[in-house]
Chains A and B, each alone.
Chain A
Amino acid sequence: MADASAGERLIGWYGGVAEKNLSTRPDFVRNWLMLGFQAMRGKVHLAPYGDLLPSGNHGYQLFMDSVVGALANFDNAVVTSIFTPNEIFHALGARPVTAEAVASFASGAQAEGGFIAAAEGRGVPETYCSYHRILMGMATSGVLGKPRMLASCSVACDANNLTFKTLGRFWGVPHVYVDVPYDVSRDSVLYVADELREMGRATEEAFSRKLDEGRLREACACSERTMRELAATLPTRRRRYLANTMTIDMMEMLDLHLSLGLPECEDLAREMQRDFLAASPYEGVNLVWAHVSPYFLESLGELVNTSKTAQIVASDMMFEHVTAGDAWFDASSPYEFMAERLVRSCFNGPATRRADCIELLARETNADAVVLFCHWGCKQTAGAAQLIRRQLEGAGWPVLVLDGDACDRANCMEGQMSTRFSAFLEMVEKRKEAERHAS
């Protein structure tokens, strides 16, 4: 965007240095980026944001710690896709880091353009998911080192199959792929559970460590409590000021996948509930956000970041498991427990499952409207967009389908996006006002 703030310009310069040196000095670029990431990690610990809730700052810190920690010790890391269960890795003391988190770091540093060009130069299609293009570019340009292994699952996209398989060959490290059947059935769960057992064996081999089944059960029990705690926050979010931002919402979402199974993640979910219970009432527009968000677009962020006008009250990426219904398995059967979460995810199966999840979130949080963000290259979301819109509108929620990119600025028409978003918020506000008058 042309009228960038001084901070944005500084980061632009920082990212530009990385881009310029990418083809000739990948080691320098790695160190340069790590320097910035470490500085940012220090900043969020030493000078937390005053306008966020304590849980918001802790979510930010947890995210920075887990991702920077994994990048700094990359040969002990497992690169995963967002919905891959991480309890096995936590139980083995390995550090999972997702494609989305790594790419978000590069994008946050405004260095995504160089990595995307590097990936496209190797034949990665320009219409491929930008998170994955960035990760591919970071890997193949030599900026990322070599992780210990890769693990991905077919939820929620084809890219999880392609990127990880390709990088496994490129790095010469093991890649475990968990194929999640389409239907919700015990048959599907048992099949995935066996795949997860195989993932456990492959991880043991890659790290030359023995998986302690007791620790795995503990991690799964921790996940179970965290998910329950998190689901309990939904009604608490109703009409309360969450003091969040697009960035914080994304980071908390990533935390609640990356660190699920760890006590600090459970603590975060508990703290969120405490914060929300104590939060002040909120009169603005409450939005359910579907899919990822373009947190770096200042003009959009201004509309919802710690704003009295509008806020994101929940996102389907964070609550993808809430449609689970009555579970068949609990943490005492850890593999089946993790498998069931995957099979029942609203990102698996038909578009109606996703729409049902978003509708449930809107109902539970008493949201005013829904924004469905069609991230560039995400065919499952794009293809479902109109179906979801029709279902939600039919149930009474205004829906904005917003096209853009959550990590590649080149695919965002910021002016048009912010105009559409602002107009939508104005429309929802008017509707709220009318409802208030009517009541």
Chain B
Amino acid sequence: MLAIYKREMRAYFTTPIGYIFAAIFLCLSAAVFSYSTIYQLSADTSTYFTVMVFSFVILLPLLTMKTFSEERRSRTEQLLLTAPVTLTGIVCAKFLAAFTVFFACTLLSSLNFLILYTHAQPETATILGNLLALVLVGMAFLAVGIFISSLCESQLAASVVTVAVLLLFLVISLANSLIDVAWLRFLLNGLSVFTRFQNFTRGIFDIAAIFYYLSLTAVFLFLTVRVYDRRRFS
């Protein structure tokens, strides 16, 4: 498992994809941050976090699109499948590698907040809560991306489908204004990643949301394992 993790990490940074991701992520976060706080002379970070969550829809598929589709296309998956490693090990290693890159970028971009402290008294607890939620949403999105990559043989297809699915997850509750059925609205609100994320930007630490994000991650990683398990039988 460690071997696969190391190879994935290496692959991110011997191909341009890791650098492209880091560059876009850091530039975007810096730009959004300076615009939403410094230019506005405000210590309110809710706009920043909202924009970042939306940017994940486009950014995170960059990290996940290759994970399984490329292995399948070049038939290197046979090497992994015949090695003494479990399927869960393979999936987790790939997930952890993508998560490491994502997490490192999030940490780096969090240095932005230090600037706030030199000029204002931002609410540290809110910022930390938001950061945690941001990382967890990222985790869930990566898991979704990996799952979709395991279904596709082409990177491009994987990335396009992932973007679509992530967007759906994020904004599914927008359909609520068109729906009269109360229980359906409740369900869509529950499924929406963004509705739950808004609680954090309002300064509420939503335990249920944290569980929701973690469950999403676990479910999609499990589904990825199942995809491979199923394929052996078909």
Question: Do A and B actually bind?
Answer: no
Chain A interface residues toward B at CB < 8 A: none
